[in-house]
Amino acid sequence: MKQLLGNRFVQAIFISALFLQVGIWVRNFAVLLFVMEKTNGDAFAISMISVAEFAPIFIFSFIGGTFADRWRPKRTMIWCDALSAVSVFAVILALVFGTWKAVFFATLISSILSQFSQPSGMKLFKMHLPEDLIQSAMSIYQTIFAIFMIFGPIVGTFVYQTFGIKVSIMVTGIAFILSALSLMLIPADHSVEKATKQSTLWQEMKGGIQYVLAKKELRLLGICFMAAGLAIGLMQPLNIFLVTERLGLAKEHLQWLLTVNGIGMILGGAATMGFSKKVTPAKLLVIGMLVNAIGVGIIGFSTTLWITLVTEFFCGLFMPCIQIGINTLILQNTEADFIGRVNGTLSPLFTGAMVVTMSIAGSLKNLLSLVTIFEISAVLFIIGLLFIVPLYNKAVPKKMEIQKDSM
């Protein structure tokens, strides 16, 4: 652990993640609460926030992943954070002189730029860390996200309720700038190979798809991504209605459900760090998917606050298993030169499916009960789990062979 935390790249990327999470959570909750007030809780308007956030992922992910393999990853991430800050400050001007609907623009532009930044970050992990440290680094990285599952909603709600939407957007922009400055501390990018420069964009995009199709592990992950995307797309826009309708609480209480979930994620991330080298990433993914499928089913039925909170805690506790398992499987089964394109190929499967169900979630709520929608989501998680089982079964014999060879 000392070797990992003493790594200059790890220090810089983690500091950047801290600032980035502050900006994202302040923006997300400010926009959510602002739109809720402006539309009197209109389900369609709420679901459109999620569409603005995730639709660009489907559209730009593959293109962004391809360019991430062509461009220097450090420079790409810095420019993306800087441009996100500029777009956020432009929203403030739009709020002053234009329409309140400009808040959707802040989410939209940041989401587009993240499709160039996120695969570059994955590439940097592969570039600057030995393979035996990647899963541990991912555990800490996901723990940072988990911490903000607790403090992010609280900070976002506080900033919006105290200072309003304009200051909230300004805080977001400043956080993005600080993230970009932190990334400058990362060691210089390795030189881009001449072969990559000589190939055309279309050839590289085509090569990325062929690479994914040629690997069984990546194909199965893609199907799992689609099922999980459909499930999450149904739930995410409607989470706030669990609070207001199923539990009968004010909309601001959503932050406490996310807080409990975040506590579970912190503990789960810490636990995963402890045994990450002893458990295969496929096994982590299977366990995480199963627990969350059960948890989603219970949350959908629950009308009792303590049952919902306990279930949220256990979902959060095992969520790092999903996140770390997926990221590690991708890095382990992908060559460095293809990380951006593999990420750009798999992400649209997840986000495309998610955007589809997000787009209809508001309308479905008018046709079906929240219980029915959440139970459908639970079933979709199970379907995704079934496609990961072959990876789990494949991983076990390998582990046994290693143990036998060491005897």
Tell me the two tokens of residue 20: 């980035």
The span from the CA of 228 to the CA of 322, in Å, is 11
Provide the number of structural domains found in the chain.
1
Q: Which residue has the higher pLDDT, 226 or 46?
A: 226
**Greatest mean pLDDT among 47-56, 120-129, 288-297, 383-392:** 288-297
pLDDT (0 to 100) of residue 222: 85
Confidence band of 348 (pLDDT split at 50, 70, 90): confident
In a domain? residue 195: no
In a domain? residue 190: no
Tell the burial category of 342 from Cβ atoms under 10 Å away from its Cβ (0-12, 13-18, 19+).
Answer: buried
In a domain? residue 197: no
State the average pLDDT for the chain: 79
The span from the CA of 266 to the CA of 305, in Å, is 21
In a domain? residue 298: yes
Which residue in 27, 33, 165, 45 sits closest to 96, CA to CA?
A: 165
Tell the burial category of 98 from Cβ atoms under 10 Å away from its Cβ (0-12, 13-18, 19+).
Answer: exposed
In a domain? residue 169: yes
Mean pLDDT of 42-65: 72
The span from the CA of 201 to the CA of 218, in Å, is 22
Domain at 239, CATH number: 1.20.1250.20
Domain that holds residue 276: 2-184+204-406
In a domain? residue 330: yes
Q: Which residue has the higher pLDDT, 22 or 107?
A: 22
Res. 248: pLDDT tops 90 = no
In a domain? residue 243: yes
Tell me the two tokens of residue 195: 């072969």
Q: Which residue has the higher pLDDT, 20 or 266?
A: 20
Mean pLDDT of 26-43: 79
Mention every residue, 6+ apart, whose C-beta is less than 8 A from residue 56: 108, 111, 112, 115
In a domain? residue 179: yes
User: Do 107 and 49 touch, CB atoms closer than 8 A?
Assistant: yes
